[in-house]
Amino acid sequence: MTHNKKMKKFVKKCLTYSMLFGIFAIVLMGSFVGVSLIKFQSIPLQAEALQSPSQTVCIYSQDNRPIKEDIGGKMCKLDDLQPHTKEAFISIEDKNFYKHHGLNYKRIAVAMAKNISTLSLREGASTISQQLIKNTHLSGEKTFERKLKEMVLTKKLEKSFSKDDILESYLNIIFFGNNCYGLESASEYYFNKEAKDLTLSESCTLAGMIRSPSKYSPITHYANCLKRRNLVLSEMQKDGYISVEEQLQAQNSPINLDIKQKKFNLNTYAHASIDEASKILNLPVKQIVNGGYKIHTYLNLDKQASLEYSLQEVENCDNLAIVIDAKTCGVCAYHGNSIYKLLDVKRQPASCIKPLLVYTPAFNENVVSPETQILDEEIKIGNYVPSNVNKKFSGYVSVTDAVKNSINIPAIKTLSYIGIDTGKQYAEKLGLEFDERDTSYTLALGGMTYGLTLKDLATAYTVFPNQGNFAPSTFIQYITDGFGKLVYVHKPASQMVFRQDSTYLMTSVLQETAKSGTARKLCDVKNVEVASKTGTVGKGSGNTDAYNISFTPSEVIGVWYGNLKNEPQKIAGGNQPTEVVKNYLSSQNYEKCQFEVPSSVVEAKIDVLEEENNHCLVLASPYAPERYCKTCLFSRFNLPSEVSENFSTPPEIQAECKAENGQIVLSLQTQKHLEYQIFKDDVSYQILTNQSGEKTLRLPFNDKNCTIKIVATVSGNNELQSEKTFVLHNSTKTKAQKERWYI
């Protein structure tokens, strides 16, 4: 009993202290909120930011020349819109919009409870009025302080403007993806019509998108968009805006996009910079405009002009190109031709991933060298039976030939040598992202669940001109706010991913690709050394994606041609993309024209005979003639140690000799570097030079006995000589004379 009493007292004390602590916390929080609300009352409401759908962003090139870029577009009037258009947004975003005074306290309480239970700030409970304030006045950071500012400004908004004015401003400012700010802009882009003419289905599609324009994009995530549109229709039916029949009819119809207009310049350098600034500052684009921020970029106007001139529009085909300065990691030129926004579009990288995921990691792991021989043959891995583009197999090929001719089987084998996880670890350090399902050997050929953006792929290649060091690329140098204060500066933070020798060896291989491989259109470029890799994604009667990623000692150029509808096109990595790179490179003047050879890369002579006969890399004998040596590049850490004996020891003669049907049959296994002199009874009969493989000679056998001697001499060294002798007995019997029957 005593023990129970003590326990009860202890529990009572704990409850009392907990209650007191809770009350103290509530009072403290209440005081903080109260003080903050009073302090934030001084924040002004910017009326002009709410009523201007089209504004200009201040962007500057690397030499501080201004680039004007307008965002937004025509303003739509609320009175001109169909009732179902307004109702779609209200149903999905703020059902009580016309009833509350800016804040929905019930939704705020529910959201706060969820946030406390999950220890996060995921639930926002924002009304349309709050969303308007957030997009025009505040940053996108999720903090209690920002939320309190939002609440104060929302109350001011509700006092200063009518509900219809607020809804109209909201519809003209909200972001719909693909550089569409405002309902009118989105309506023209996605459906090629004015906002006042939107159907019920189209209105619900746009209303459903604004929660996450990328996730619910009807272009790149059609299934998500369709599901979201149908949810909006269901909410409208529940709210009594439409009948069940109207709901079902609209839900059973597809989303019919009509994206034809090319006046939307979605793939410009300026728009890419604006998108990046929004992410860096965690601010909506409208707030960047209203705050007077100035974006200073790495744009080189001369390079931009050259790139745009080189990248001509092609009918029914999208294309995109980027130039990245290796030293600063700044994007100095960027342009695309498409009715879709391509900056964040991910596509299969094809063979362009091989240097990043397979071969350079294999060099760095000391597994292969550029001259390493790999057997190109039919293989099967589980149920996966890979093949080469030409459906043929080449036998033993060097790594250099495998890369420059884009042969698939050696890439898969090399990835198996280092392991998929090792290859991915290297690639991830280069900024490449993989899905958890990317675990098969199709990765060696660019087979990924989601793929890569051209910017990420080209950025990864900067590791080569930077001799193994990598840093992410960027459009922006620095940003200042409306008062001229510096709020962001780009500071490249590089890390070493590969050794210098590994990246130089890969560079040398890719130089061969530009000279005589799949990118041989670049062999005419004389003003700078260039290394290149092409990639092509095939599909039936045509290809859906074609790449060329090239680099010089100072910059990387990436070009992609394709079709987001995945319709086969007459494109290939070695054709249109390579032609663009060639035209661009030929127009440039480079200060640094040659790749720097690191001290950890050495030249060594290997024995050609060992490579041809045994497919292995062996150092040539110092006595080997030049014609039997090949000079190759190696890492000091992966230099062959074995020295060939082909030209330093007497040769071994492999031969058989026998008498057969009145002939001498001599079978001799010849080698290229040996000279064979055949003697019959000490008389020179025949000399064999520059022969390789089995050789069969037939000599006449007229005598009872015969001696065959073979003398083998190492080419270029008469002192290294061997001989072999065969003594043959003619066992053929002469016919007996006929016995005379007469005397």
Distance CA 127, CA 107 (A): 9
With beta carbons less than 8 A apart as the criterion, state whether 647 and 619 touch.
no
Model confidence at 262: pLDDT above 80: no
Q: Convert the pLDDT of each residue in 54-65 to its tens digit.
A: 567 889 999 999
**Paired sense of beta strands 705-714 and 717-729, if any:** antiparallel
Amino acid identity, position 643: V
User: Nearest-CA neighbor of 583 among 321, 192, 201?
Assistant: 321
Distance CA 15, CA 346 (A): 56
Amino acid identity, position 5: K
Q: Which pLDDT belongs to residue 110? A: 59
Q: In a 3-state reduction of DSSP, which class is residue 548? A: strand
Q: Convert the pLDDT of each residue in 346-368 to its tens digit.
A: 999 999 999 999 999 999 999 99
Amino acid identity, position 708: I
Q: In a 3-state reduction of DSSP, which class is residue 383? A: coil
Task: Specify the DSSP element, H or E, that contains 229.
Answer: helix 222-238
Cβ count within 10 A of residue 305:
13
Q: What is the CA radius of gyration of the chain?
A: 38
Q: Which two tokens stand for residue 422?
A: 């090792």
Residues 6+ away with beta carbon under 8 Å from 335:
267, 268, 269, 304, 307, 308, 311, 320, 321
Q: Convert the pLDDT of each residue in 650-688 to its tens digit.
A: 888 999 999 888 889 999 999 888 889 999 988 999 999
Mean pLDDT over 410-439 rounds to: 97
Provide the 8-state DSSP code for 343: T
Model confidence at 291: pLDDT above 90: no
Task: Specify the DSSP element, H or E, that contains 280.
Answer: helix 269-281
Model confidence at 46: pLDDT above 80: no
Phi, psi dihedral angles at 58 (to 5 degrees): -90, 110
Q: Which residue has the higher pLDDT, 518 or 259?
A: 518
Mean pLDDT over 425-454 rounds to: 97
Distance CA 498, CA 578 (A): 27
User: Nearest-CA neighbor of 125 among 109, 139, 141?
Assistant: 109
Model confidence at 19: pLDDT above 80: no
* Residues 109, 115, 121, 126, CA torsion sign: negative
Mean pLDDT over 3-13 rounds to: 65
User: Nearest-CA neighbor of 455 among 430, 438, 422?
Assistant: 430
* Opening angle at CA 14, ends 11 and 16, nearest 5: 110
Of all residues in the chain, the percent with pLDDT exceeding 90 is: 64
Q: Convert the pLDDT of each residue in 56-92 to its tens digit.
A: 788 999 999 998 776 666 789 999 999 999 999 999 9
Mean pLDDT over 621-635 rounds to: 91
Q: How confident is the model at residue 141 (pLDDT cuts 50, 70, 90)?
A: low
Q: Which pLDDT belongs to residue 53? A: 55
Model confidence at 739: pLDDT above 80: no
Instruction: Annotate 97-133 with three-state secondary structure.
Output: CCCCCCCCHHHHHHHHHHHHHHCCCCCCCCCHHHHHH
